[in-house]
Chain A
C-alpha cells in the first residue's frame, strides 16, 4: 500500500479544518467516541451543529483563539492508499510551519473562499508549493454554497489563479481545480445536484488518482551512510555494514561505488534488510550495504556510482526560508545539516530577499527575518554532496542550526 502525503493550506476562515474533518468523517476515519466528544464540545460552544473542525484544532491555545497554530498530522485511508495530511496554518506569521508541513508533501491542497477569490495568501501558498517543487497542486474552491453554486464565479476564480500560477509553476507541476462545500460535504467524496455543471472528479477521486511521485528513483544513486553496523560477535566477527536510507536512485549488489569524500572505489557485495538479501533497493528504503573491499567509511559519507558524483561543494548559493525569531545575519556562522552530514557554515552574503506577497526583490539585504525567503551565499568548513534542489529535491535541501540555542532556524534549497 502506498502513502500520499498532503500539505493543506488556507487562510484562517477558508474552512480548512472543516474540510479535513469532513474527509475523515466521510472515509469512516472517525470513531464513535470521538464523534460524541465533538458533539459535546460543539454544544458547549453554543453551536447548533457538530463542528468537525474541532477534530483537528488540538491545542488548548487554539481552542481558546479558534485558530490553528502548528502543524498537525492527520491520517485517513481508503482501501488502496494511506493518506497523511500535514495541516498547516495559513496566516502570515506562521509561514515557517507551512514550509515545514510542505517539506514531505507530494500534494499541496490550497483552499480558496469562493466569496473572496484569490487573495494574497493564496499567492503565498502557491509560491511555497512552487519553491518546494511539490508536484501536484489541488485548488479547492470552497464555500460554493455561499455563492449559489455559481459556475461563472468558479471559472473566474480558476482564471484568476491560473493568471499568476502558470507564470510561476515549474515544468511538470500539475494544477487541478475542484469546486466544493466542505460544510455540507459537497464534492468531497460525493457529487451533488447543486454542482451539476461540474463534470470533473470529486476531491477524494482527485486524490485517489494522483500518481505517487517516483521521480527520485530516476535520479543518480545517493546513499548517505547513517550508521556503521559492527556486531563484533562470534557469528558476525568480521561483519561491517553501512546502514542508511537511499535518498535517490537505485542500487544493486555488484554495483561499483565511490565513497565521498575520500574518493575510494569499491563494489557493493550485499544489500540487506534484517538479514534478508535484496536484489535491488530504491528511494526511501532503509537497508544495510556491505562492500567487497575494506574501505574507510563513516557516518556522513555518501556512496554514489562512478561518473554520477554530485558536485562536492564547499561554497554554495541557496534559496532559504528563515524559521527563527532571531534574524539570519550576514557574516554569522551556523551549523549546516544536509541529510545526515553536517558542517559549520558561514553566511557570506544575502543576495536578495523576496517579498512573497509582491515577488519584489530587495538586493543585498543585511538580514533575513522570520518567515522571509531569500537567496544567500554560504561557505562551509567541509564539503557537502548536494545536488541542485531543482534537479534532485531529495538530495538538494539542508537545514541551518543555531550553534547556541541548537534550534533549527532555517531551511535551504541548493541552487
Chain B
C-alpha cells in the first residue's frame, strides 16, 4: 500500500467529528455565555467549522474571542476578518497592548521577549468583562504531556488556574458543566484529535486556512537551530542577519514564539506528506515550551489556555 493511498480521503475518523459536535452542543445547552477562543491557528479554525456544523441551519450561538497580542502575523488577521464575514459569526477582540498600557503586565525584555505569557492576563480580564462561563479552545491532548491529562470540560477557578489533582472524572460521554460562582470552564472539543487528524479533516472538508501554513518566501533569522520570522517585534542581536528562505509554519502563534520550518509544501497533500514523515513534533516549533521541561504545566496552572 502506498503512502498516498494510506492518507487518502476516508482517513479522517468521522467519529471524532461526531464527538466534537456533541461537545459543542453540550456547551450551548449547559452554559449561559460561552465563547470560542479564536487564535487564527488551524485548530481554532476547525472549531469554527465544527460549531457551524453543530448548529446548522442555525448560526453559531457564541462569539469568537480573539486575544490580540499585537505580534500576530498580518496574514492571520486578514484571515480572521475574512472568516468572520464568511460565517457571520460575532467577533470580539481584546488587546494585550491595552493590558500593558494599563500597567497590568510588563513587556518582556531580551532576545526571547514574547507576549505569549502576557496574553493570559488579557484573556482572564476578557472572561471577567464578558462574564464568559465557558471558553472553547482548540487544544489537543497529543500536543504535549500535561495536555494528555486534560479533561474535555476543564474547570478553572477565579484566577483561571488549573489544578491537575482536582479534576473531575469524565465518564462515558457525560459532561458535567456545573460550576460555582466565579468559576468557569475551558472546553476542548478536539481533545482526541492528533495533528494529522486535524490536517486530514481540513483536507476532507476543504477548509480554507491562512496562507502562512503553506510554503512561501520569507525573511528569517536562525537562532538555536530554528528559523524565526524577521519582524519589528523580534529583538535581534547584531550577528543575527535576516536571509530569505522558503518556509512554512506548522503552528501559528505569535511571530515572536513560532518557528518556521523549511518546506516546499504549497498544497495540503504535501503538508500532510511532510507531517507523516516529520522528524520534529508540532510543539517542537514552539519556542515557549522549550523554556523548561514542565513549561506547559506551569503555564496552565497560571491560567494559560
Whether the Cβ atoms of B279 and A408 lie closer than 8 Å is: no
Rounded to whole Å, the gap between the CB of A371 and the closest CB of chain B is 12
Whether the Cβ atoms of A239 and B57 lie closer than 8 Å is: yes
Whether the Cβ atoms of A31 and B174 lie closer than 8 Å is: no
Classify the secondary structure of A's interface with B: mixed
CB-defined contacts of A69 to chain B, threshold 8 Å: 165
Q: Which of A58, A59, A401 has the most CB of B within 10 A?
A: A58
**B129 CB–A CB distance under 8 Å:** no
A3-B13, A73-B191 known; A407 vs B168 contact (CB < 8 Å): yes
Name A103's closest neighbour in chain B (CB-CB).
B171
Cα–Cα distance between A55 and B176 once the two chains are bound (Å): 30
Whether the Cβ atoms of B53 and A226 lie closer than 8 Å is: no
CB-defined contacts of B13 to chain A, threshold 8 Å: 1-3, 82
8 Å CB contact of B26 from A60, A63, A226: A226
Cα–Cα distance between A21 and B145 once the two chains are bound (Å): 13
**B128 CB–A CB distance under 8 Å:** no
Cα–Cα distance between A189 and B173 once the two chains are bound (Å): 31
**A97 CB–B CB distance under 8 Å:** yes
CB-defined contacts of A231 to chain B, threshold 8 Å: 57-59
Whether the Cβ atoms of A75 and B194 lie closer than 8 Å is: yes
Whether the Cβ atoms of A79 and B6 lie closer than 8 Å is: yes
Choose the segment among A283-291, A359-367, A377-385 that binds chain B (4+ C-beta atoms closer than 8 Å).
A283-291
CB-defined contacts of B25 to chain A, threshold 8 Å: 226-227, 243-244, 286
Cα–Cα distance between A20 and B257 once the two chains are bound (Å): 31
Report B274-305 CB contacts with A as 1/0, cut-off 8 Å: 00001111001000000001100110000000
**B55 CB–A CB distance under 8 Å:** yes
Choose the segment among A32-40, A121-129, A190-198, A343-351 that binds chain B (4+ C-beta atoms closer than 8 Å).
A32-40
Residues of A1-55 contacting chain B, CB below 8 A: 1-3, 31-34, 37, 41, 55
Rounded to whole Å, the gap between the CB of B251 and the closest CB of chain A is 13
Rounded to whole Å, the gap between the CB of B177 and the closest CB of chain A is 9
Whether the Cβ atoms of A100 and B170 lie closer than 8 Å is: yes
Whether the Cβ atoms of B174 and A339 lie closer than 8 Å is: yes
**B93 CB–A CB distance under 8 Å:** no
Cα–Cα distance between A31 and B165 once the two chains are bound (Å): 29
8 Å CB contact of B57 from A55, A236, A299: A236
Name A300's closest neighbour in chain B (CB-CB).
B29
8 Å CB contact of B1 from A74, A79, A227, A337: A79
**B149 CB–A CB distance under 8 Å:** yes
Name B197's closest neighbour in chain A (CB-CB).
A82
Whether the Cβ atoms of B10 and A226 lie closer than 8 Å is: no
Whether the Cβ atoms of B29 and A226 lie closer than 8 Å is: yes
Cα–Cα distance between A319 and B18 once the two chains are bound (Å): 29
Cα–Cα distance between A338 and B6 once the two chains are bound (Å): 39
CB-defined contacts of B222 to chain A, threshold 8 Å: none
Residues of B1-36 contacting chain A, CB below 8 A: 1, 6, 10-13, 15-19, 21-22, 25-26, 28-29
CB-defined contacts of A288 to chain B, threshold 8 Å: 56
Cα–Cα distance between A239 and B21 once the two chains are bound (Å): 19
Whether the Cβ atoms of B15 and A299 lie closer than 8 Å is: no
Whether the Cβ atoms of B171 and A397 lie closer than 8 Å is: yes
**A313 CB–B CB distance under 8 Å:** no
**B141 CB–A CB distance under 8 Å:** yes
Name B166's closest neighbour in chain A (CB-CB).
A407
Whether the Cβ atoms of A286 and B170 lie closer than 8 Å is: no
Whether the Cβ atoms of A397 and B148 lie closer than 8 Å is: no
Cα–Cα distance between A398 and B171 once the two chains are bound (Å): 9
Cα–Cα distance between A10 and B15 once the two chains are bound (Å): 28
Rounded to whole Å, the gap between the CB of B149 and the closest CB of chain A is 5
Residues of A73-106 contacting chain B, CB below 8 A: 73-75, 77, 79, 82, 84, 96-97, 99-100, 103-104
Cα–Cα distance between A409 and B56 once the two chains are bound (Å): 35
Whether the Cβ atoms of A96 and B169 lie closer than 8 Å is: yes
Cα–Cα distance between A56 and B194 once the two chains are bound (Å): 16
**A233 CB–B CB distance under 8 Å:** yes
**B52 CB–A CB distance under 8 Å:** yes
**B142 CB–A CB distance under 8 Å:** yes
Residues of A390-415 contacting chain B, CB below 8 A: 397-399, 401, 405-408, 411
* Further pairs besides A73-B149, A74-B142, A75-B194: 6, Cβ < 8 Å: A37-B293, A73-B148, A100-B171, A226-B29, A233-B58, A243-B54
